[in-house]
Amino acid sequence: MVSLPFTITAGRCVGVGVGVLVDRVVPEPPNAWHPVALFGSLMTKLEHGLWSETETSNRGRGLVYTAVGVAFGAATGAVVGRGAVGLGVLATLVNGGGMLGRSATAIGDLLVNEDLDGARAALPALVGRDPSQLDRAQIARAVVESVAENTVDAVVAPALWAVVAGGAGAAGYRAVNTMDAMVGYRSDRYREFGWASARLDDVANLVPARLTATLVALVRPAQAQEVVRLVRRDARAHPSPNGGVAETAFAAALGIHLGGTNTYGDRIEHRGVLGDGPAATAADIGRAVRLSRDVSIAAAGIALAIAAALVALQPQGQRLIDRMLS
């Protein structure tokens, strides 16, 4: 008899694997009823209700904000993501790999067509830095870096958390990542209020970022040794404990370097150089998108392979395999 934990685990893996693959071909729902956008609207209202101009520190209020957001996301995911079908639908909704690739490709096409103003206007959809003074090379670097980081945030991390903790894990992680994107910046308003969301996002991505680097090496075996070498050498130069791992892995696989100086509103951030190759160009955007796609497919394939292995290890599954081979 198949034990309940194995049944659930196999179902999770199937739901996640299929959800990741479906996201590659199905467009995102409109923002008016996209669950992530709706969650963002609710958290904006909660932020306005909690944030105080008179408090010396908003860190405690930010902690409440984060706790409410995680609890709401996890509870909703636990209800919606029941069973392999429910989790597959949820995995498709919380996975943003397809949209990431389409957005990055659109900016790359604008750069190739010498439409710098159009590329600058489209860039905020991917990154938080000020695009007004960026040249073609700086925009190309920003897009490639965003593709690298968001391959963790939008693909590998939600898939991993869904496999580990089902719908609650998938939606709970997406809640954490969304809150970090909303209040995790170190601006005057969010330096204290967004501290809890930012730190929790760092913790939630520790394993997924390193899994992403491993998958990059897996899908680009010719560059695997370089990926390992440069991640060990350069990742720590990045201010994020996870962003540097993903960006360095992509830089190594693409044979370019990333990093430098970024401007986020009134904040200037100097990052180390990640990788040994030349600077990123518009042509590298398409290569980064294809790399991210291959990582997504590999993640889905591994999830489905784990599901098959779990079923095969059970008595019924083994008997079925024996009959098929006899």
Residue 265 pLDDT exceeds 70: no
Closest to 20 measured CA to CA, from 304, 297, 308: 297
Give the per-residue SS3 of 272-303.
CCECCCCECCHHHHHHHHHHHHHHHHHHHHHH
Distance of CA 102 to the CA centre of its chain: 15
Q: How far apart are CA 102 and CA 52, in angstroms?
A: 38
CA distance 160 to 206: 12
- Predicted local distance difference test score (pLDDT) of residue 228: 98
pLDDT in tens, 50-90: 988 877 789 999 999 999 999 999 999 999 998 889 999 99
3-state secondary structure of 79: helix
As a whole number, mean pLDDT of residues 230-248 equals 95
CA–CA separation, 232 vs 226, rounded Å? 10
Does residue 323 have a pLDDT over 70?
no
* Residues in Cβ contact with 92 at an 8 Å cutoff, skipping those fewer than 6 apart: 19, 20, 22, 23, 26
Confidence of residue 6 (pLDDT cuts 50, 70, 90): very low
65, two tokens: 């904000």
Residue 92 has pLDDT above 90, yes or no: yes
Mean of pLDDT values over 26-43: 87
* Torsion-angle region of 255 (φ positive above 0: left; ψ -120 to 50: alpha; else: beta): left
pLDDT tens track for 304-316: 999 988 888 776 6
Identify the pLDDT of residue 317: 58
Q: What's the pLDDT at 320?
A: 53
Whether the predicted pLDDT of 244 surpasses 80: yes
Q: CA 207 to CA 301: how far, in whole Å?
A: 19
Whether the per-residue pLDDT at 2 is higher than 60: the answer is no
Mean pLDDT, residues 144-150:
96
Distance CA 164, CA 162 (A): 5
Q: Is 292 left (phi over 0), alpha (psi -120 to 50) or beta?
A: alpha
Report angle CA 228, 234, 237 to the nearest 5 degrees. 150
The residue ranking higher by pLDDT, 32 or 302, is 302
Picking from 98, 123, 124, the residue whose alpha carbon sits closest to that of residue 111 is 123
Average pLDDT over all residues of the chain: 90
Distance between CA atoms of residues 8 and 11, nearest Å: 5
- Look at residues 13, 307, 33 and name the one whose alpha carbon lies nearest to residue 169: 13
Q: For the chain, what is the largest distance between any 2 Cα atoms, rounded to a whole number of angstroms? A: 76
pLDDT, tens only, 116-137 = 999 999 999 898 778 888 899 9
Is the model's pTM score more than 0.75?
Answer: yes
Confidence of residue 266 (pLDDT cuts 50, 70, 90): low
pLDDT at 168: 95
Q: What angle do CA 241, 171, 107 make, to 5 degrees?
A: 65
Of residues 201, 91, 237, 209, the one with CA closest to residue 148: 209
Q: Specify the pLDDT at position 319.
A: 57
- Res. 154 pLDDT band, cuts 50 70 90: very high
Residue 123 DSSP code: G
pLDDT of residue 22: 95
pLDDT band at 49 (very low <50, low <70, confident <90, very high): very high
Q: Positive or negative, the Cα torsion across 93, 97, 100, 106? A: negative
How, if at all, do strands 261-264 and 267-270 pair?
A: antiparallel
SS3 content of the chain, % helix, strand, coil (to 5): 75, 5, 20
Cα–Cα distance between 219 and 121 in angstroms, integer?
A: 33
Residue 268 clears pLDDT 80, i.e. is over it: no
- pLDDT score, position 316: 65
Mean pLDDT computed over 177-181: 95
Q: Which residues pair with residue 274 across a beta bridge?
A: 258
φ and ψ of 258, to 5 deg: -125, 180
Q: Tens digits of per-residue pLDDT, 132-142?
A: 888 999 999 99
